[in-house]
């Protein structure tokens, strides 16, 4: 057992709390029917809005163009929040997820920044965990096989940072394997990760099939190189030939779209999306739901665990605590057309056709998953150098942002003066040109107890521009990411 004692204790108390609260905190939602004598047949729809299939795009590694181009490009293509064949639905954009690794966020102008990541989230996109530093590889000679300690460090820090900076304390549950390295899956349970995708088609799997392995979802690989290859050069490469079957989740994957409208890449994407949208979008049969992959997985798992019933004229939906959070679409059959059905409160949707009524609940439960324990927050961000704290902090680790390529490999150390007057060194880490700019991590957690630190000194290297100091504690007033 490699988990330090203080972590195991944190888990024990959290687990005990969860056990105590199972029945008390299940998410309930109810809707009183206008007539107590109504006894419709009630069921949870296979997908949100009772759509037939789901579409998502995943863009890996955080190129800036995800926010400056891709989100608006895909948003030209629309579906509605009404069930297929029911008019009057609200127009919704095709969206996807950004698979981010924390090392390169804001590394330079060609990567997403905290600001542009927030813009993406506001447009309905999601964040997918793609590790902290994109390490691990089962191919090559030699391969890069990670120890469970390395995987725990990668997942602890990436989940903590995503929860702190973008999730209001909640972390992603969907993962993309860096370099296709599936060794990460061994610790998914510890970090609340429920699903994962890798390179390689055909581009999807089925959400109605309980045997679908959610931690091994294939994606249609649509980078320009492979897509323009001799046998792949068709707009519908790795899209189901006979159209998507009921329950299909199509995941289209690229490392970025070309913003030049004259480029072969954009013409290819346009042909693909024109076809998908004309057939299955708002102006087609409207059978497509588009969402970040995580939302589709959450709906699927919530649907399997939720219960729904009509009793004494009240429709009641219950989502147990161990299910991920999601809205749910409920179908009621056998409501006479003459019966008035008032709009439900709290942002729920109601559509009807003939004697069928569809109600989509508000979001039930909690988004994402809890941030890892112990919780950490950014306490200080400023120039990489010397900093003295007003009173000792419980240090979890330090990120050093470096820019530019050193002339020679440079060792970087961080000298800590502890509250008791003794000193400790973090590192050394080698500053090299591997990824160019980025955020080098000097962790204390999760493998050691936090250090009580009163002063930090970073060894000088002109490439070091900024340091972010992370300390133990929940984020009441978090220092924002730069």
Enumerate binding residues for Zn ion (CB under 5 A): 60-61
Cα–Cα distance, 129 to 293 (Å, whole number): 12
Query: What contacts 97, CB < 8 A, 6 or more positions away?
Result: 56, 57, 58, 59, 125, 126, 127, 128, 174, 292, 293, 294
In the bound complex, what is the minimum distance in angstroms from residue 218's beta carbon to Zn ion? 16
Query: What contacts 122, CB < 8 A, 6 or more positions away?
Result: none
For Zn ion, the closer of residues 128 and 300 by Cβ is 128
Cα–Cα distance, 282 to 109 (Å, whole number): 35
In the bound complex, what is the minimum distance in angstroms from residue 322's beta carbon to Zn ion? 31
68: DSSP letter? I
Cα–Cα distance, 257 to 290 (Å, whole number): 18
In the bound complex, what is the minimum distance in angstroms from residue 176's beta carbon to Zn ion? 7
For Zn ion, the closer of residues 75 and 199 by Cβ is 199
For Zn ion, the closer of residues 134 and 268 by Cβ is 134
Q: Give the CA distances from residue 215 to residues 190, 293, 371, 390, in Å, rounded to whole numbers and listed in that order.
A: 14, 12, 20, 45
For Zn ion, the closer of residues 60 and 468 by Cβ is 60
Cα–Cα distance, 305 to 321 (Å, whole number): 10
For Zn ion, the closer of residues 49 and 177 by Cβ is 177
Q: Which helix (H) or strand (E) holds 128?
A: strand 126-129
In the bound complex, what is the minimum distance in angstroms from residue 62's beta carbon to Zn ion? 9
Cα–Cα distance, 75 to 248 (Å, whole number): 21
For Zn ion, the closer of residues 187 and 199 by Cβ is 199
In the bound complex, what is the minimum distance in angstroms from residue 130's beta carbon to Zn ion? 6
For Zn ion, the closer of residues 60 and 373 by Cβ is 60
Are the C-beta atoms of 270 and 11 separated by less than 8 Å? no
């Amino acid at each position: 057992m490699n988990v330090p004692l203080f972590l195991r204790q944190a888990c024990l108390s959290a687990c005990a709390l969860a056990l105590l609260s199972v029945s008390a905190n299940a998410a309930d939602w109810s809707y009183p029917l206008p007539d107590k004598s109504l006894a419709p047949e009630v069921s949870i729809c296979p997908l949100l809005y009772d759509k037939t299939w789901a579409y998502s795009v995943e863009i890996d590694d955080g190129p800036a163009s995800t926010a400056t181009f891709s989100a608006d490009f895909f948003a030209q293509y629309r579906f509605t929040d009404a069930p297929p064949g029911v008019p009057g639905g609200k127009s919704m954009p095709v969206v996807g997820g950004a698979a981010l690794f924390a090392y390169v966020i804001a590394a330079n102008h060609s990567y997403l920044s905290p600001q542009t990541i927030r813009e993406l989230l506001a447009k309905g996109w999601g964040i997918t965990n793609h590790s902290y530093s994109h390490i691990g590889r089962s191919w090559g000679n030699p391969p890069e096989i990670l120890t469970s300690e390395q995987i725990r460090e990668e997942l602890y820090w990436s989940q903590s940072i995503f929860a702190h900076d973008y999730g209001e304390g909640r972390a992603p549950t969907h993962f993309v394997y860096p370099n296709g390295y599936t060794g990460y899956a061994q610790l998914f349970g510890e970090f609340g990760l429920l699903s994962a995708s890798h390179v390689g088609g055909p581009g999807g799997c089925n959400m109605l099939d309980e045997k679908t392995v959610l931690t091994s979802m294939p994606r249609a690989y649509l980078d320009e190189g492979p897509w323009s290859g001799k046998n792949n050069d068709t707009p519908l490469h790795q899209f189901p030939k006979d159209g998507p079957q009921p329950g299909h989740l199509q995941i289209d994957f690229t490392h970025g779209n070309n913003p030049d409208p004259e480029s072969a890449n954009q013409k290819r994407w346009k042909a693909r999306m024109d076809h998908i949208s004309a057939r299955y979008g708002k102006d087609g049969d409207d059978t497509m739901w588009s969402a970040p992959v995580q939302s589709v997985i959450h709906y699927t798992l919530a649907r399997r665990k939720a219960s729904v019933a009509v009793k004494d004229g009240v429709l009641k939906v219950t989502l147990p605590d161990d299910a991920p959070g999601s809205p749910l679409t409920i179908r009621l059959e056998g409501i006479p057309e003459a019966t008035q059905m008032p709009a439900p409160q709290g942002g729920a949707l109601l559509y009807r056709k003939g004697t069928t009524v569809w109600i989509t609940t508000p979001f039930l439960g909690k988004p994402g998953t809890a941030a890892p324990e112990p919780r950490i927050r950014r306490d200080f961000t400023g120039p990489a150098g010397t900093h003295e704290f007003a009173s000792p902090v419980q240090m979890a680790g330090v990120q050093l942002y470096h820019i530019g390529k050193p002339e020679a490999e440079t060792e970087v150390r961080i000298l800590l003066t502890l509250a008791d007057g003794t000193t400790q060194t973090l590192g050394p880490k080698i500053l090299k040109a591997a990824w160019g700019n980025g955020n080098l991590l000097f962790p204390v957690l999760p493998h050691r107890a936090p250090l009580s630190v009163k002063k930090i000194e970073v060894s000088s290297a002109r490439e070091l521009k900024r340091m972010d100091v992370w300390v133990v504690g929940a984020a009441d007033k978090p220092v924002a990411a730069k």
